[in-house]
Amino acid sequence: MLYDKLVQKLQNQHEALKKLSDWMFNLHSSNKSDFATRIAFEDGTWWLLNGLADDYVRFEGSLGKHLQNNLSILCGYDVSNLNELYIEAIIASHIYVILDGPMIIYKASK
- Structural domain span for residue 26: 3-107
Cα separation values, 20 from 3, 68, 71, 75, 107, Å: 9, 17, 15, 13, 25
pLDDT band with cut points at 50, 70 and 90 for residue 24: confident
pLDDT over 80 (residue 47):
yes
> pLDDT tens-digit profile of 58-91?
888 777 666 666 888 888 888 887 888 888 888 8
pLDDT for 67 equals 67
| pTM given for the model | 0.72
pLDDT for 66 equals 62
Q: Total structural domains in the chain?
A: 1
More confident residue, 3 or 33: 33
The number of beta carbons lying within 10 Å of the beta carbon of residue 58 is 13
pLDDT over 90 (residue 15):
no
Yes or no: say if 41 and 75 are a contact pair by the CB < 8 Å rule.
yes
Taking CB atoms within 8 Å and a gap of at least 24, the contacts of 56-63 are 56/17, 57/86, 57/89, 57/90, 57/93, 59/17, 59/20, 59/21, 60/89, 60/90, 60/93, 60/94, 61/89, 61/92, 61/93, 62/21, 63/93
pLDDT over 80 (residue 1):
no
Mean pLDDT of 6-12: 66
pLDDT band with cut points at 50, 70 and 90 for residue 23: confident
